[in-house]
């Protein structure tokens, strides 16, 4: 052993002659704990895991030392007590196990949209307003009742009963409990479905067979959640999909897949995929809207079935699509009436090498790490897998275990009430080759510590120890996963109590580090530490890092230069935090201080607690001033709560950004470290946390997330920017964030739109009160609609007078022009107006706040009017869609509206209105209407109201009520001219002519309503209780 150390020291001195002894010790320590990604390791021959010899010699030496010190301090092996077999007798007891459902609080919050009430419930309540009005009118106090609002849905969770679903039993149980605890559903019940070939057997909560059609809701208030991993062969057949198609026709039906989205295509979900947007609130699947793939348009009656994962982002998109008609939509698969277009052909079984290569390629980092850590144990029980995931794979998702099964590297076996995973022999050997003895030791010792810490608790994770009188049997080839002292065994109830003994002496520190070096001597390939312990690549040895500056500052603090004083500080910090700090002890001061700093940095409030303790021990010293300065630079790590971290990494789960390495190096600058080829977002985040903030004061991890938001789809970008805004709000750097976003928009932009793309500003203007003054402006905006209609809504603006309203609108247009200038879009302005405001001359308002020559916005931009009343009245939308489709066909064919499709109204009299309504009903090809008088909004019996009800998308009128020959000739040229210009562009040219010729020109009073139902918005109206950010 000394020869190995000697050769290493000689090599370091030859490479860097200036290193002193302390720096050489630091280098050796960092090398011993360094890491590479599992995915970068070659397939080699690892330790012999089958015999357990990798730790037998070390355990023997430890037991000999312990027995020599005290017979009662020996340790006994612990086995997975969830697995029973014929073999050695043993005793077992239970410990608490991690939850099967990750992030339950975030999941609950994501479903808040289901809190919307069904307005006409079965019970009645007193209507106070109606009772009061009736009393004021009749002077008789008679209570008036109305239907009381109640919870909307009865939820039925239908669980796939296939063998592979055994691992999700606890997850489904916790999901059902979560839905019940939310208090937003009328009832939550769990049914099961057994699939075998073309057979679909449905069983109710009592286990009795039930016909599948029993789940169809006649009231529209049922909600079906079909939970499956879709791995069973039956999901490649048509029968089960036919059943789902029939359910979804009358009842909202959603598929819940606990597996990550990256493996969905390897399951029975290999169906046409779309993004479905909300239709009727709470309606069946047939009301959802989607864009039909071009190669499926010849087929009819496709029906979208939303597919969600058990992540807060996925469930929030689904809830908002169902209950708020959110235009962002939700992922869905298309199902034809036959169930599938054809049954999927059986594929040949892949080899072990092919399976492992596929697993490397498609599995998440957390799933791959979990597979490697569990590979020495075969079989490995589900509770053991969850414990390994909880302790060593922070940020792991609910679907990590399912990924292992979905790819096929392991199979789940359910026997005697216990679910266990069996790795395929060839795959297991390859996975074991990636796990080295030091890594396995860290897992072994950490699990031993877990058992010790929870010895006084009880739960469903069973541990066992050999006992001739025990009532449990262990497999003859079972290997221990941990060990515990006899004191721990007594707390667990596995040994009889004994009198309290004297404490054991602490082993010599030099002996301890020597043992660690000896144990690691034969290891040639470094392995990654668990994510909770930052790997070596996150440490910077230069001044750009913040770990080493703090270590150097602590060297100047007197009480941190003595080993016993350092241990005292560790105990005090542990007491303040409420749990012990697991600090590795080293004889060299620098190395021990590094270990203390690194451990404190992993604990919430760890660094701030360490600083507070040291200031109590050495108040006011010059060394402590420097320590406080360095800790303040590092304290950002503590400002991001574990919940915020989980939220961020949940949003980024499954997101692939090809140039992620370039983004990291751009943000880190010269301090960028060399990272492995396959690096997780968590590792990048931790690497950036070790760097000082930018000159603006914004921490580099936050800058990194802001860069990511510019490289993902719009809905995810909004979530990431909202997360950034929350973190920046805590730091009080809002102005700096605005500057950062402006800089990013100029340098790299948001996914750049195509040249001269159509961009939209949609203003919704309403009066805020019954008087003539006071307006509210709601604004939607979208740069480039080539990838669909998904506008962002900005905070509302209020104006006290019409003059102020014009200034507010001009200010918005000015700022948008500046923001979007680099993209050169064709900006279109739309005004969605209440009926009483339809005759506002919005196209004549100046587009600049201050100008020597005010130019009407109608000259510079395409400006048209839309109806707020029709947008709210869903009962009019069917006719609206039909006539819009007809208008698009006509304009697409010839850039004009045929004369026979235009109706010229000559009078607003009652008889004329009846003739107009009759003519519109007789002629579905009529798409344009010229009014005889401007809309006033004072009565529902006028031309504009009839046009809105009939679905007319193009309405034209003169704001002054003129129907002169000049006006009619202008309208004829506008609608029937065969030039190549679009109709709305012709309108802009007419208004430009009017600006040049004077206000008497007919174009100055030309009003055009061009109302497109395919770019529908959700105005507040009766949804005013919903926040704007929820749309």
Report the distance separating Cα 824 and Cα 586, nearest Å: 62
* Residue 842, pLDDT above cutoff 90: yes
Residue 1010's pLDDT band (cuts 50, 70, 90): very high
Residue-wise pLDDT for 418-477, tens only, equals: 777 777 777 777 787 777 766 776 777 767 766 666 654 555 566 666 666 666 665 544
In terms of C-beta distances under 8 Å and separation of at least 24 residues, what long-range contacts does 842-848 make, across chains too?
A: 842/809, 843/991, 843/1006, 843/1007, 844/1004, 845/806, 845/809, 845/810, 846/806, 846/810, 847/810, 847/813, 847/814, 848/810, 848/813, 848/814
Report the distance separating Cα 38 and Cα 675, nearest Å: 13
User: Which DSSP string do the residues of 938-1005 spell out, in sequence order?
Assistant: S-SSSHHHHHHHHT--EEEEETT----HHHHHHHHHHHH--SSS-HHHHHHHHHHHHHHH-TTSGGGG
Report the distance separating Cα 688 and Cα 513, nearest Å: 31
In terms of C-beta distances under 8 Å and separation of at least 24 residues, what long-range contacts does 118-124 make, across chains too?
A: 118/149, 118/150, 118/151, 118/152, 118/221, 119/147, 119/149, 120/147, 121/147, 121/148, 121/149, 121/150, 122/147, 122/150, 123/147, 123/148, 123/150, 124/148
* Residue 645, pLDDT above cutoff 70: yes
Q: Specify the pLDDT at position 77.
A: 59
Q: Taking residues 806-820, what's their average pLDDT?
A: 86
Q: Taking residues 333-345, what's their average pLDDT?
A: 73
pTM: 0.45
* Residue 50, pLDDT above cutoff 70: no
CB 561 within 8 A of CB 596: no
The neighbouring-strand residues paired with 225 are 157, 254
Q: Taking residues 805-815, what's their average pLDDT?
A: 88
Question: Which of 407, 153, 460, 88 has its CA nearest to residue 262?
Answer: 407
Q: Specify the pLDDT at position 466.
A: 65
- Give backbone dihedrals phi and psi of 61, rounded to 5 degrees, phi first: -65, -40
265's tokens: 């295509």
Residue 737's pLDDT band (cuts 50, 70, 90): confident
Q: Specify the pLDDT at position 665.
A: 80
* Residue 409, pLDDT above cutoff 70: yes
Q: Specify the pLDDT at position 81.
A: 56
Residue-wise pLDDT for 577-600, tens only, equals: 887 888 888 778 888 888 888 888
* Residue 630, pLDDT above cutoff 80: no
284's tokens: 């069946």
- Give backbone dihedrals phi and psi of 229, rounded to 5 degrees, phi first: -90, -5
Distances (CA, A) of 840 to 193, 803, 907, 949, 1006: 60, 12, 21, 21, 11
Residue 1021's pLDDT band (cuts 50, 70, 90): very low
Q: Specify the pLDDT at position 883.
A: 92
Report the distance separating Cα 527 and Cα 532, nearest Å: 14
Helices vs. strands in the chain: H and E counts, helices first: 36, 30
Q: Specify the pLDDT at position 254.
A: 92
Domain boundaries defined on the chain: 33-96+351-520, 151-335, 640-747, 828-1022
Residue-wise pLDDT for 565-581, tens only, equals: 888 899 888 888 887 88
* Residue 520, pLDDT above cutoff 50: no
Share of the chain above pLDDT 90, in %: 9
Residue-wise pLDDT for 242-261, tens only, equals: 888 888 888 889 999 888 77
- How does DSSP classify residue 911? H
Report the distance separating Cα 1014 and Cα 1031, nearest Å: 17
Q: Specify the pLDDT at position 342.
A: 65
The neighbouring-strand residues paired with 414 are 419
Average pLDDT, the chain: 75
Q: Specify the pLDDT at position 93.
A: 61
Q: Taking residues 736-757, what's their average pLDDT?
A: 66
* Residue 40, pLDDT above cutoff 50: no
Range of 352-356, 532-536, 897-901 with top mean pLDDT: 897-901
* Residue 302, pLDDT above cutoff 70: yes
* Residue 70, pLDDT above cutoff 50: no
Average the pLDDT over each of 110-114, 171-175, 277-281, 390-394 and give the range with the smallest value: 390-394
Average the pLDDT over each of 766-775, 904-913, 964-973 and give the range with the smallest value: 766-775
């Amino acid at each position: 052993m000394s020869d190995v150390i000697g050769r290493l020291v000689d090599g370091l001195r030859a490479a860097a002659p200036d290193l002193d002894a302390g720096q050489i010790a630091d280098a050796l320590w960092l090398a011993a704990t360094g890491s590479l990604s599992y995915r970068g390791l070659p397939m080699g021959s690892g330790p012999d895991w089958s015999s357990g010899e990798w730790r037998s010699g070390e355990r023997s030496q430890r037991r000999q030392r312990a027995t020599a010190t005290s017979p009662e301090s020996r340790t006994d092996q612990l086995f997975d007590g969830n697995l029973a077999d014929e073999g050695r007798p043993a005793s077992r007891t239970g410990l608490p196990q991690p939850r099967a459902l990750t992030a339950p609080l975030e999941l609950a919050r994501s479903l808040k949209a289901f809190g919307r009430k069904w307005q006409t419930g079965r019970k009645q309540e007193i209507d106070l307003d109606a009772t009061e009005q009736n009393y004021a009118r009749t002077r008789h106090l008679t209570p008036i009742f109305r239907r009381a609002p109640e919870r909307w849905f009865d939820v039925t969770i239908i669980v796939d009963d296939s063998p592979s679903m055994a691992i999700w039993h606890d997850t489904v149980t916790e999901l059902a409990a979560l839905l019940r605890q939310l208090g937003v559903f009328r009832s939550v019940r769990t049914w099961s479905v057994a699939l075998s070939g073309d057979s679909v057997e449905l069983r109710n909560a009592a286990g009795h067979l039930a016909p599948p059609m029993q789940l169809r809701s006649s009231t529209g208030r049922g909600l079906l959640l079909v939970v499956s991993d879709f791995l069973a062969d039956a999901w490649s057949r048509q029968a089960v999909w036919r059943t789902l198609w029939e359910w979804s026709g009358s009842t909202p039906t959603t598929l819940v897949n606990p597996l990550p989205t990256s493996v969905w295509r390897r399951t029975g979900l290999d169906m046409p995929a779309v993004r479905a947007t909300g239709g009727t609130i709470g309606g069946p699947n047939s009301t959802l809207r989607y864009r039909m793939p071009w190669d499926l348009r010849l087929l009819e009656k496709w029906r979208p079935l939303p597919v969600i994962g058990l992540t807060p982002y996925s469930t929030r998109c689904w809830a908002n699509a169902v209950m708020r008609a959110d235009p962002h939509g939700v992922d869905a698969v298309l199902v034809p009436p036959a169930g599938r277009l054809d049954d999927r052909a059986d594929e040949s079984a892949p080899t072990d090498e092919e399976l492992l290569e596929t697993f490397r390629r498609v599995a998440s980092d957390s799933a791959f790490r979990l597979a490697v850590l569990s590979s020495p144990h075969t079989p490995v029980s589900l509770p053991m897998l969850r414990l390994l995931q909880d302790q060593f794979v922070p940020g792991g998702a609910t679907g990590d275990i399912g990924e292992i099964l979905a790819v096929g590297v392991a199979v789940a076996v359910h026997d005697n009430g216990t679910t266990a995973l069996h790795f395929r022999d060839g795959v297991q050997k390859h996975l074991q080759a990636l796990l080295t003895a030091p890594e396995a030791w860290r897992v072994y010792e950490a699990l031993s510590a877990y058992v010790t810490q929870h010895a006084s608790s009880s739960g469903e994770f069973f541990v066992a120890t050999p006992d001739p009188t025990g009532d449990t049997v262990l497999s003859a080839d079972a290997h221990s996963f941990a060990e515990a002292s006899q004191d721990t065994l007594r707390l667990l109830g596995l040994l009889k109590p004994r009198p309290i003994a004297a404490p054991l002496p602490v082993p010599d520190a030099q002996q301890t580090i020597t043992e660690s070096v000896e144990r690691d001597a034969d290891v040639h390939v470094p392995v990654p530490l668990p994510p909770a312990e930052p790997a070596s690549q996150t440490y910077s040895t230069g001044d750009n890092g913040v770990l080493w500056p703090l270590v150097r500052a602590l060297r100047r603090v007197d009480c941190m230069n003595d080993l016993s004083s350092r241990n005292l500080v560790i105990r005090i910090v542990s007491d303040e935090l409420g749990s012990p700090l697991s600090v590795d002890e080293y004889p060299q001061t620098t190395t021990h201080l590094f270990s203390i700093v690194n451990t404190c940095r992993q604990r919430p409030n760890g660094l701030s607690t360490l600083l507070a303790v040291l200031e109590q021990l050495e108040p006011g010293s010059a060394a402590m001033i420097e320590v406080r300065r360095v800790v303040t630079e590092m304290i950002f790590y503590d400002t991001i709560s574990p919940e915020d971290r989980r939220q961020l990494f949940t949003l980024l789960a499954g997101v692939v950004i090809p140039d992620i390495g370039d983004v990291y190096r751009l943000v880190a600058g010269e301090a960028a470290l060399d990272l492995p080829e396959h690096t997780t977002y968590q590792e990048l985040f931790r690497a950036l946390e070790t760097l000082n903030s930018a000159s603006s004061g914004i921490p580099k991890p936050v800058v990194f997330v802001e860069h990511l938001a510019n490289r993902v789809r719009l809905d995810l970008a909004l979530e990431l920017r909202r997360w950034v805004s929350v973190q920046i709000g805590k730091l009080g750097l809002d102005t700096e964030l605005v500057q950062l976003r402006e800089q990013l928009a100029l340098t790299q932009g948001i996914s750049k739109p195509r040249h001269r793309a159509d961009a939209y500003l949609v203003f919704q203007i309403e009066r805020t009160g019954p008087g003539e003054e006071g307006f509210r402006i709601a604004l939607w905006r979208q740069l480039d609609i080539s990838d669909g209609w998904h506008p962002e809504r900005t905070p509302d603006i209020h104006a006290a007078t019409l003059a102020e309203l014009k200034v507010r609108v001009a200010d918005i247009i000015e700022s948008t022009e500046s923001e979007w200038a680099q993209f050169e879009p064709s900006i279109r302005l739309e005004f969605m107006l209440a009926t009483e405001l339809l005759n506002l001359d919005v196209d004549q308002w100046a587009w600049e706040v201050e100008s020597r020559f005010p130019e009407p916005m109608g000259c510079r931009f395409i400006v048209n009017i839309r109806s707020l009343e029709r947008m709210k009245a869903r009962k009019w939308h069917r006719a609206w869609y039909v006539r819009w489709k007809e208008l698009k066909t006509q304009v697409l064919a010839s850039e004009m509206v045929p004369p026979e499709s235009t109706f010229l109204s000559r009078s607003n009299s009652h008889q004329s209105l009846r003739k107009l309504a009759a003519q519109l009903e007789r002629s579905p090809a009529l798409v344009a209407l010229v009014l005889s008088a401007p809309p006033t909004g004072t009565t529902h019996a006028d031309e504009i109201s009839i046009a809105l009800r009939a679905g007319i998308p193009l309405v034209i009128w003169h704001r002054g009520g003129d129907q002169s020959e000049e006006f009619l000739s202008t309208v004829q040229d506008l609608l029937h001219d065969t030039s190549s210009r679009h109709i709305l562009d012709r309108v802009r040219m007419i208004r430009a002519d009017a600006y040049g010729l004077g206000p008497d020109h007919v174009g100055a009073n030309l009003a055009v309503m061009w109302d497109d139902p395919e770019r529908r918005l959700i105005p507040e109206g009766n949804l005013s209780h919903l926040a704007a950010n929820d749309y």
